[in-house]
Amino acid sequence: MLAAVTLALPLTNCAQVVGQMAAQTAIKNAKTCVQEAWATPEGQLLSQRLWRFNEADTASKLSDPKPLTKTEQDALVFVHNQLQPCKEIILTHDNTFAAWETPYWQELFQRNDEIFYKLAGGDISVGLANRLAIESNGKFQTDVSKGHAEAVAVDEAQRQRASEAMLQAGAQILAAQSQSRMTTTNCMWMGNMLNCTSMQ
């Protein structure tokens, strides 16, 4: 019995090391995939207006009242398609080594797809899409960290907090803008589905 336990411990450690190496490889590959998608001319065009959770994000992106132009909509479809393999990298890794994370990623991707379809269709403004992206990412981090606090990287949590602080600060600007506009579009999450209504 002792021999079986003694043999099991190195195997368990070996499995943990393999899992950690696979996670590091998956993270590296997914990040590279995302960077390549956004490094395209289409990605660069969109980065000027869309929230990227990086140092280029500003409060003005949260109050942008206009939808994407036709050229930007086409660029969004291109980048969205380029990002599909990145999602697969994450889901393939999680299904093998971290199955508990898979539902959270699937929910995040579903919410992001909802934002994509509304934005690509010209149904919502860029500012609203950016605010919804921050909310969606915040929900993802909250859900993941409930059971596994260490699963959300410190730098990602800090970027999310900075985004949410900007979102809070921009709420007053948005309130003033919506009073001066004729039509206001409001969206709310119903599960992972986005329900938007326009009011005049």
Express each pLDDT in 113-137 by its tens digit. 999 999 999 999 999 999 999 999 9
pLDDT score of 2: 47
Whole-number average pLDDT of the chain: 82
- Specify the 3-state DSSP secondary structure of 122: coil
Regarding predicted confidence, which is higher, 9 or 154?
154
pLDDT score of 25: 87
Given a contact cutoff of 8 angstroms between Cβ atoms, the answer to whether 43 and 79 are in contact is yes
Give the number of other CB atoms < 10 A from CB of residue 151: 15
> If you average pLDDT over each of 2-6, 51-55, 169-173, 193-197, which comes out highest?
51-55
pLDDT band at 13 (very low <50, low <70, confident <90, very high): very low
Q: How many CA atoms lie within 13 A of 87 on its CB side?
A: 16
178 pLDDT more than 60: no
The one-letter amino acid at 69: T
pLDDT digits (tens, 9 = 90+) for 57-102: 999 999 999 999 999 999 999 999 999 999 999 999 888 878 888 9
pLDDT score of 148: 75
The one-letter amino acid at 39: A
pLDDT over 90, % of the chain = 48
Q: First and final CA of the chain: distance in angstroms? A: 75
pLDDT score of 30: 92
CA distances from residue 57 to 104, 129, 134 in whole angstroms, order as listed: 25, 13, 11
